[in-house]
Amino acid sequence: MHTLTCPNGITSPPWKLTLGDGHPRLSVLFPRKPCRECEDRLKCTGNVDGKGRHILLLTEPQQKIQSQVRKDQKASNWQRRYAIRAGCEATVSETVHAHGLRHCRYRGLAKTHVQHVLTAAGTNIVRLSDCFPPGTTPASLPRPPSHFKRLCQRLPT
């Protein structure tokens, strides 16, 4: 039977196995009364509806994996390998946070694919516009005359 004790010395009831975002988690719910009366309540929990402090913990196998991965991430070897992904991660983050790629606007794979392609194209356009801020665009070549204009001016084709 596992319990948690908070910095103010309040001990939780035993942890309970639950689901958080569809994954197994350990739920720790501190008793209401001492949490309501606690002077540090606002610093401790964003919970404003009068319940006790609620904490979700990873199960032991997941916690071990997470601890090991966090330890590995500090090694220079890991950081060197991760640096290869840095540009890719930034692009994924940009499409998700700036262009809403995580939410599909349409139903069906075909339309979803179109959304992905258009989002990628839009991302490229935004990046290109950053390469040439206003006033710094390279001089463009004059547009060739259209067929109709050639016809009107009797220009050779």
Among 25, 26, 28, 53, binds ligand SF4 (CB under 6 A): 53
Phi-psi region for residue 70, left (φ > 0), alpha (ψ -120 to 50) or beta? alpha
3-state SS, one letter per residue, for the chain: CCCCECCCCCECCCCEEEEECCEEEEEEECCHHHHHHCCCHHHHCCCCCCCCCEEEEECHHHHHHHHHHHHHHCCHHHHHHHHHHHHHHHHHHHHHHCCCCCCCCCCCHHHHHHHHHHHHHHHHHHHHHHHCCCCCCCCCCCCCCCHHHHHHHCCCC
- Selected from 15, 26, 38, 119, the binder of ligand SF4 by CB under 6 A is 38
Nearer to ligand SF4, 6 or 26 (CB): 6
Which listed residue (2, 3, 8, 67) binds ligand SF4 by CB under 6 A?
A: 8
Task: Give the number of residues in contact with ligand SF4, rule: CB under 6 A.
Answer: 13
Least distance to ligand SF4, CB of residue 49, Å: 13
The residue from 27, 34, 101, 123 that contacts ligand SF4 (CB under 6 A) is: 34
Report the residue from 1, 30, 70, 150 that binds ligand SF4 according to the rule CB under 6 A: 30
In the bound state with ligand SF4, the residue whose beta carbon lies nearer, of 31 and 94, is: 31
Q: Please, are residues 67 and 74 in contact by the beta-carbon 8 Å criterion?
A: no
The answer to whether 45 contacts ligand SF4 (rule: CB under 6 A) is: yes
**Among the residue ranges 7-15, 74-82, 101-109, 123-131, the one whose residues contact ligand SF4 (CB under 6 A):** 7-15
Footprint of ligand SF4 (CB under 6 A): 6-8, 10, 30, 34-35, 38, 40-41, 44-45, 53
